[in-house]
Amino acid sequence: MKQPDSAERKSAVRQAISNMEAGRPAIAPEVKPITAELLERLGDALLWHIVVEPYVPKQRGMLVKAPISIEAERILSQVARVVLVGCFAWKSKTASGLDLAGETHKPEVGDYVLHEAYAGTEIHLTTGHMLRILTETECKLRVKDPELIRAWL
């Protein structure tokens, strides 16, 4: 991963100081989607687990959301993009005997899913990214267009 040069760091520090003087948070929580390089450094999903990245809808309109609101949307989002899939995901049987291998709409890496509220385990990376580790049965819907699903804070 490319490290910021001295000029970029000075600019970021100046921006943080300017934000603090204006009463805004020092650093805005805007985080770009996780990269393949960062996922490679992270590791692999094991067994029947699925790693997803929360989806935050694009902002519309003229009003600017507060940074705390954007961060809350990331945490409370129920729509996420699949970034890693364990080798046994959708190949096992549930406790009630349901064979998950028969599921015809299995999400793959890059697909969006709707999951249960507060499902799985949140992990926060030092890069500012937040990921969630789910089991295959916590995914409720493979979403074709995540912009259709609206979440309100």
CA angle 123, 107, 57 (to 5 degrees): 60
What is the residue-level pLDDT of the chain in tens, covering all 153 positions?
A: 455 566 766 776 677 677 667 665 555 456 688 999 999 999 999 998 999 999 877 766 666 777 777 777 777 788 999 999 999 988 888 888 888 888 888 899 999 999 988 889 999 888 888 899 999 889 999 999 988 887 655
Q: How far is CA 122 from CA 40, 109, 136, in A?
A: 19, 18, 16
Residue type, 122: E
Strand order in the sheet with 121-124: 121-124, 130-135, 49-54, 79-85, 112-115, 139-143
> What's the rounded Cα separation, in Å, for the pair 52 and 54?
6
State the pTM of this model.
0.71
